[in-house]
């Protein structure tokens, strides 16, 4: 009898349904990558697999820096400028108490040799009215650094390879025909690149929607421009800073080409911080400014969740100051049919710049600002270049 009861119990156990498997759950750090050297504001981008609501804690070097509770699980953190490794740890917790973690250790730049950084290069645009002045020679230029005339030791025009970041505003205000026109303009810019040029494309809103690596092959850049859906607010300051930082370790003629309506509402960084970066960067900034109907190009008058009217006007003026400091310019666009020509015009201007190099006569390495002027011995012309540099 005892054996029959045991057998019956076994049959009941076999008939009982297996407990339901828990849904998949995990978290990964997509960016930054392991071993990558990172500086300044950088996006921590997380990939999460979960069907439940989550709370994600983000720690940098064992310090809690953010708690994120909704998708996309991203956070812009200022890592500073020390050349050190960073440890990024994330911990995701569901309402049912399930926990997943991930960890990445970044790298630092290995300094193998001393590099002579004293040579200063200036990218100079000379215009008369609306036309660029071409055909000038070395003897037509005069460089003044802190009031002292400098000897021009290198002189080129149009032969220096170009490294560009195309920074395209893809926020909700750009939805529909606007973003499509911007993408067509970006394609025209990429089509005009020379074989030794390279570019990176970044589509941003209040987060980085899409991006590419730096590449000279159109095949590596084109796919990011397809099927873009505008979404979110605008964090122009954060991503302009990021673009300038990305260009620090590149070579050649460096430029950020921004397409935006210029209304920043979501940045963590102020434009004052971006201005300082623009002054210390060798990159030029060109802003293709899509203006609203009736807009004059002056400072806007609106409030946002972070800033009142006066502060937003100040941010706008500081953006212009950063562009001027870099040696770039604002290209106002009042109709979408002008966008393609604006991108082509910027590329053409970069191709026709003069490149002047000199060794500063007063090179103290004390971090002070050097005011630089470039003059041309020809009446009625306008000279545009960056306004100076920090003597590091």
Q: What is the pLDDT of residues 323-347, one digit of tens each?
A: 999 999 999 998 899 999 999 999 9
pLDDT for residue 294: 59
Band (370; pLDDT cuts 50, 70, 90): very high
Given a cut of 80, whether residue 16 has pLDDT beyond it is no
pLDDT for residue 311: 75
Cα distances (angstroms) measured from residue 202 to each of 71, 119, 180, 213, 274:
20, 30, 15, 9, 17
Pinpoint the alpha helices (H) of 120-270: 177-191, 218-221, 236-246
From first CA to last CA, the distance across the chain in angstroms is 94
Q: Is 184 exposed, middle or buried (0-12, 13-18, 19+ CB in 10 A)?
A: middle
Q: Residue 11 corresponds to which tokens in the numbers above?
A: 């049959």
Band (352; pLDDT cuts 50, 70, 90): very high
Q: Determine the average pLDDT of the residues in 276-291.
A: 92
Strands 154-157 and 354-358: antiparallel
In contact, 341 and 108? CB cutoff 8 Å: no
In contact, 323 and 287? CB cutoff 8 Å: yes
Q: 336 or 294: which carries more pLDDT confidence?
A: 336
pLDDT digits (tens, 9 = 90+) for 129-171: 989 999 999 999 999 999 999 999 999 887 778 999 999 999 9
Peptide bond into 32 cis (omega under 30): yes
pLDDT for residue 118: 74
Strands 208-211 and 369-376: unpaired
Most confident range (mean pLDDT) of 5-14, 155-164, 176-185 is: 176-185
Rounded CA separation 297/299 (Å)? 7
Query: H-helix or E-strand containing 331?
Result: strand 329-333
Rounded CA separation 210/221 (Å)? 11
Neighbouring residues of 316: CB distance < 8 A, sequence distance ≥ 6: 262, 299, 300
Rounded CA separation 120/322 (Å)? 19
Cα distances (angstroms) measured from residue 98 to each of 20, 36, 57, 92, 93:
16, 30, 14, 8, 6
Given a cut of 50, whether residue 119 has pLDDT beyond it is yes
Rounded CA separation 247/64 (Å)? 29
Q: Residue 391 corresponds to which tokens in the numbers above?
A: 């003597």
pTM, to two decimals: 0.70
Given a cut of 50, whether residue 3 has pLDDT beyond it is no
Q: Determine the average pLDDT of the residues in 12-19.
A: 51
**What is the total residue count of the chain?**
392
pLDDT digits (tens, 9 = 90+) for 239-261: 999 999 999 888 778 999 999 97
Rounded CA separation 11/57 (Å)? 47
Q: 303 or 388: which carries more pLDDT confidence?
A: 388
pLDDT for residue 375: 96
Given a cut of 80, whether residue 304 has pLDDT beyond it is no
Rounded CA separation 171/166 (Å)? 15
Q: Determine the average pLDDT of the residues in 300-328.
A: 78
Band (7; pLDDT cuts 50, 70, 90): very low
Rounded CA separation 382/38 (Å)? 39
Share of the chain above pLDDT 70, in %: 87
Given a cut of 60, whether residue 117 has pLDDT beyond it is no
Q: Residue 38 corresponds to which tokens in the numbers above?
A: 């990172």
Per the listing, tokens 């102020």 go with 270
């Amino acid at each position: 009898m005892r054996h029959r009861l045991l057998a019956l119990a076994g049959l009941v156990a076999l008939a009982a349904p297996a407990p339901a498997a828990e849904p998949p759950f995990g978290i990964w750090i997509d960016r930054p990558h392991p071993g990558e050297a990172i500086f300044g504001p950088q996006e921590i981008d997380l990939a999460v697999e979960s069907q439940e609501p989550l709370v994600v804690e983000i720690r940098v070097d064992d310090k809690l820096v953010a708690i994120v509770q909704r998708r996309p699980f991203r956070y812009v953190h200022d890592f500073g400028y020390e050349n050190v490794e960073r440890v990024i740890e994330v911990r995701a917790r569901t309402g049912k108490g399930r926990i997943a973690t991930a960890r990445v250790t970044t790298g630092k730049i290995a300094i193998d040799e001393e590099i002579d950084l004293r040579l200063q290069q200036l990218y100079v645009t000379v215009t008369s009215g609306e036309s660029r002045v071409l055909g000038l020679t070395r003897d037509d230029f005069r460089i003044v650094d802190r009031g002292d005339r400098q000897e021009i030791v290198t002189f080129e025009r149009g032969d220096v390879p170009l490294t560009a970041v195309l920074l395209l505003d893809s926020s909700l205000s750009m939805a529909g025909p606007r973003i499509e026109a911007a993408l067509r303009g970006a394609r025209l810019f990429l089509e005009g690149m020379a074989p030794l040029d390279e570019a990176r494309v970044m589509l941003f809103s209040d987060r980085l929607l899409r991006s590419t690596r730096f590449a000279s092959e159109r095949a590596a850049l084109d796919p990011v421009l397809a099927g873009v859906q505008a979404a979110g607010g605008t964090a122009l300051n954060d991503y302009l800073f990021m673009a300038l930082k990305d260009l620090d370790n590149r070579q050649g003629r460096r430029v950020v080409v921004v397409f935006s309506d210029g209304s920043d509402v979501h940045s963590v960084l102020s434009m004052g911080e971006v201005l300082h970066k623009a002054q210390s960067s060798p990159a030029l900034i060109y802003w293709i400014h899509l203006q609203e109907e009736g807009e004059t190009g002056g400072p806007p008058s609106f409030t946002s969740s972070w800033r009142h009217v006066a502060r937003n006007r100040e941010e706008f003026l500081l953006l212009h100051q950063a562009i001027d400091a870099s040696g770039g310019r604002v290209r106002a666009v009042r109709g979408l049919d002008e966008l393609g020509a604006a991108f082509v015009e910027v590329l053409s201007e970069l191709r026709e710049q003069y490149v002047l190099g000199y060794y500063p006569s007063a090179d103290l390495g004390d971090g002070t600002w050097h005011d630089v002027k470039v003059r041309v011995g020809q009446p009625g012309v306008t000279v545009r270049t960056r306004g100076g540099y920090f003597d590091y």
